[in-house]
Amino acid sequence: MSNIITQFALDINETADLIAATGHNRTVIVQGEMGWGKSALQRIIADMPQFKNHASIYIDCTTKTDSGDFFMVKYSDDGETFRTVPHEELGLHLSGPVILMFDEIGKMPRSAFNAVLRILYERKYGEKQLHSDSIVMATTNLAAEGIGDLLPPHGRNRCTVVTMKKSDQLGWLGWSIAAGIHPTIQAWAKDTPQLFHSFMDFETPAICEREAPHIYDPRSANKPVAFVTGRSLEGASDIMHDRDNTLAAGGVFTDGMLRAALAGTVGPRGAMDLMAYYTLLQQVPSKEEIINDPMGARIPDKVSAVCMLVYRGLATVERAWAPQWMTYLRRLDRPAQGLFGNGTRVKGYPRLDEIARCKEYQQWALENAHLFAATK
């Protein structure tokens, strides 16, 4: 489906950079498919060095019912007239700059939406005005998704509306390493690029259901209750980490409990796929096996299991046993070694200090620099 929505779509980093450059002057309303990081834009922008002194203000528009949620009427000081005063949530009373996000603005009732129009357009209300360096932004779901997101024409015309596309497979996998996503989810995502397709890529819902059965298609007559988005993948990861921790502590978390929780998070089809990958993960040698015998520890014979092993290594490696891990890594095939090397170079990789000072890693990196770009 090639249309005006997808033709000008930006990825999440491009969207954040656009808001950072123009958000002090123009309100960018970001529309996009549910569950793929629109709300995370505020944190991404707040982490930029130029906004280190900005206060972050988040407004959940789904909780607003009318203009009274933003402004209230009070007597003027002379007691003869009325005036409106803004809720402190808007940050109009602050002297410093803010990053003000109106999340899910398309779901906000018209009365509440109209109440903040002047803030969206002029950064002010009445006699109060945001600091000139303040960033104002908003998010909304695509109207095509059919979940009630609508922007009135007079509101759209005051703002700049851009579309943010879903993460692609490589981009999401890079983020997942820094975010500590469970290796089972990472391996499934690596093997299943269809998870990152958009329903707009397909001419009909029948084609979408056949080619990418895990995702949400609002055109389908049989919409699943649970489906795969970036948000639900993260939720499935949380569940799998919780199971691992519960079992390690001697608690109860049965296969049936895991299957039911995953089905309610990524859908029945996704749950069955993940259960198969999770079973495969049990065949991967434990961290203790690798530490105690890096030259003799088992090497999985399935590619998916090797991927899980590498992702687990990226997520858990520590300086104390990094030499043993690097000894074991050299026994894996080149693509697996390249996957690990690229993982350590992902922006924000949280364990870089744990591995970068290991002389075995340094020597391996010098010998295998050609692998990094090849498997990125």
Q: Is 112 strand, coil or helix?
A: helix
Residue 97 φ then ψ, to 5°: -75, 155
| Domains, in order of start, for the chain | 4-163 (3.40.50.300), 169-374 (no CATH)
Q: Using only C-alpha atoms, what is the Rg of the chain?
A: 24
Q: Per residue in 287-341, pLDDT tens?
A: 999 999 999 999 998 899 999 999 999 999 999 999 999 999 999 999 999 999 9
Measuring CA to CA, how many Å separate 154 from each of 120, 151, 157, 239, 372? 12, 8, 5, 43, 50
Query: What is the rounded distance in angstroms from the CA atom of residue 111 to the CA atom of residue 3?
Result: 32
The helix or strand, by DSSP H or E, that contains position 115, with its residue range, turns out to be helix 110-115
Query: What is the rounded distance in angstroms from the CA atom of residue 31 to the CA atom of residue 140?
Result: 5
Query: What is the rounded distance in angstroms from the CA atom of residue 321 to the CA atom of residue 210?
Result: 45
The confidence score (pLDDT) of residue 373 equals: 56
Q: Per residue in 90-114, pLDDT tens?
A: 888 888 999 999 999 999 999 999 8
The confidence score (pLDDT) of residue 376 equals: 42
The confidence score (pLDDT) of residue 283 equals: 85
Strand duo 98-103 + 135-141: pairing? parallel
